[in-house]
Every structure is written in structure tokens, then in C-alpha cells.
């Protein structure tokens, strides 16, 4: 991975962490080495204060996810699934934070 990609990943993770911390009852921190060890997986650890921890993987692409944004437009969430894999739900990050905080 090049320095520009690594820096972009760091900026994205750090901005998402800061956004989560705007909620008084949510804790969020970046995983040291961004999940490159077997001890901790993912890029962010997010939880309602005292609640279950969510291990979050963060991916940032210039335009690699543009179809997903088109599909979710006007909807609360999007379910995506490929053959022989589990279904995944994609939703707005602010909405997810509200759910984790227990406000929705």
C-alpha cells in the first residue's frame, strides 16, 4: 500500500471516529495498526458506553461503491448479497450511530 492510500485510509477512519464521538453516549477508537494484527481485527471499535463492542472494517474508494449509493438513494438501508455468502446491510452511518446509541 502506498503512502497516499494509507493516509487516505487514516483520514477516513479518523473522521468516522470523530463523527461517532459527537454522540455523548458512544465510544469509538481506532484499532492500533488498523487491524493488521491477530489480536484486534477491523479498523474501528464502536460501542454504546458500556455496551457491546462493534468491530468495524472501513473501506474508502474514489468511485468503487458508486452503484451502492445509487441503490440506497431514497431508502433507509440496502441489503446486498452474493451467491454463497451472507447478506449484508448497508445504511447511512449517522443512522447506524443512532441505532447503536439506542435512540431509534
pLDDT tens across 84-104, in order? 999 999 999 999 999 998 876
Residue 74 Rama label (left phi>0; alpha psi -120 to 50; beta): left
Q: Where are the chain's structural domains?
A: 3-101
| pTM for this model (two decimals) | 0.85
Over 60: is that where the pLDDT of 35 sits? Answer: no
Write out the three cell numbers for 67.
452503484
| Average pLDDT score over residue span 11-36 | 90
pLDDT at 36: 67
Beta bridge partners of 84: none
**Cβ atoms 81, 88 nearer than 8 A:** yes
Mind listing the pLDDT tens digit for each residue in 47-93? Answer: 998 888 999 999 999 999 999 999 999 999 999 999 999 999 999 99
Amino acid at each position: 500500500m502506498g503512502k497516499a492510500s494509507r493516509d487516505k485510509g487514516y483520514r477516513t477512519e479518523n473522521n468516522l471516529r470523530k463523527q461517532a464521538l459527537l454522540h455523548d453516549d458512544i465510544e469509538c477508537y481506532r484499532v492500533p495498526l488498523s487491524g493488521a494484527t491477530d489480536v484486534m481485527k477491523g479498523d474501528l471499535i464502536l460501542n454504546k458506553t458500556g455496551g457491546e463492542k462493534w468491530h468495524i472494517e472501513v473501506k474508502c474508494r474514489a468511485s468503487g461503491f458508486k452503484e451502492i449509493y445509487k441503490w440506497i438513494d431514497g431508502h433507509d438501508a440496502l441489503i446486498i448479497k452474493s451467491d454463497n455468502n451472507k447478506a449484508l446491510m448497508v445504511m447511512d452511518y449517522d443512522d447506524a450511530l443512532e441505532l447503536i446509541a439506542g435512540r431509534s
